[in-house]
Chain A
């Protein structure tokens, strides 16, 4: 399982466990499953989907994966 947090400057929008995350990276969608290699990527504009959880529209920011922790950090995020 992944520990996912979606963080905007004003609040932590989501925090919890999920089997997968699909995020709009700057050059296309990126999918993350358990035991993904440590990664940092810039996000573009699109829909962020937390597997079995909520979706968010995001624009800009970045996504960081390390030790099954996924942090999505973006200035513009809203629940879709």
Chain B
């Protein structure tokens, strides 16, 4: 029964694989929940910042802030790609990398020099593989990113934008809409988009002045944009991993059904054949 033994082996190995993928699915589900909470917890801060900036903003002030500077000609841009350190998350990293490649190609098509900064082993690995030089790479940002990680990523870029050696900064990240939908997107974080709707202007007492407050808030706003990109990407990674591992578990189950059926069929055929042989042998003796 050589075929039967082979099937037993395959059934066992598929069962083991399914055990692993199911465990990974459960781990990713619980990590995803925590990451999701972080996404939600980050909202009030972003809203408070946005509210105050748009209520203080006016067109005359805009001229005096380097972070709001709209470069006349774009010469250099930085693209910050957020990817994950670990794989087995379906198309998660591939999608982000594709988005980054499109953005870089588009910018370079316009004659802009692009420097690429990558977070995460997977993104860095890809660009090393295709032989593209990276301006920097970071693999030390955990799956629970902190606000400090965001400022360490973007502070240098902000400084160079202010000094004029960079004309734009883009972040390629996932937008965590739900556990099933987290499309890769690129967001321009610098120059800061001018708030379009000036919300109902209250007569605030401003200490020390609108200018000083904006000087403090605009960098915080940029850092927060990057922080949000980090937490949303982290949540999207866990969601993608959960989905990938769920379908792997389902597929393993289907495969097991097919293998078991084939195995039983082979076993029964074998028994039937043996009976036929015995009956044949017995009738030969009596006949």
C-beta contact mask, B247-260 vs A, less than 8 Å → 1, else 0? 00000000000000
Is residue A51 contacting chain B, with contact meaning CB distance below 8 A?
A: no
Is the beta-carbon distance between A73 and B48 smaller than 8 angstroms?
yes
Cβ-defined partner of B212 (8 Å) among A8, A42, A60: A42
- The CA-CA distance from A30 to B151 in the complex, in Å, is 28
Is the beta-carbon distance between B42 and A40 smaller than 8 angstroms?
no
Interchain nearest-CB distance for A25 vs B (Å): 6
Is residue B2 contacting chain A, with contact meaning CB distance below 8 A?
A: no
- The CA-CA distance from A30 to B224 in the complex, in Å, is 26
Chain A residues bordering chain B, tally (CB within 8 A): 25
Is the beta-carbon distance between A62 and B213 smaller than 8 angstroms?
yes
Is residue B131 contacting chain A, with contact meaning CB distance below 8 A?
A: no
- The CA-CA distance from A25 to B217 in the complex, in Å, is 15
Chain B residues bordering chain A, tally (CB within 8 A): 29
Is the beta-carbon distance between B207 and A8 smaller than 8 angstroms?
no
Is the beta-carbon distance between A66 and B207 smaller than 8 angstroms?
no
Assuming the contacts A8-B147, A10-B147, A66-B202, asked whether A40 and B227 have C-beta atoms less than 8 A apart, the reply is no
Q: Which residues of B contact A9 (CB under 8 A)?
A: 42, 45, 147, 150, 223-224, 227
C-beta contact mask, A9-23 vs B, less than 8 Å → 1, else 0? 111100000000000
C-beta contact mask, B181-198 vs A, less than 8 Å → 1, else 0? 000000000000000000
Is the beta-carbon distance between B207 and A41 smaller than 8 angstroms?
yes
Is the beta-carbon distance between B207 and A42 smaller than 8 angstroms?
yes
- The CA-CA distance from A38 to B208 in the complex, in Å, is 14
Segment 52-77 of A: residues with Cβ below 8 Å from B: 60-62, 64, 66, 71, 73, 75
Is residue B60 contacting chain A, with contact meaning CB distance below 8 A?
A: no
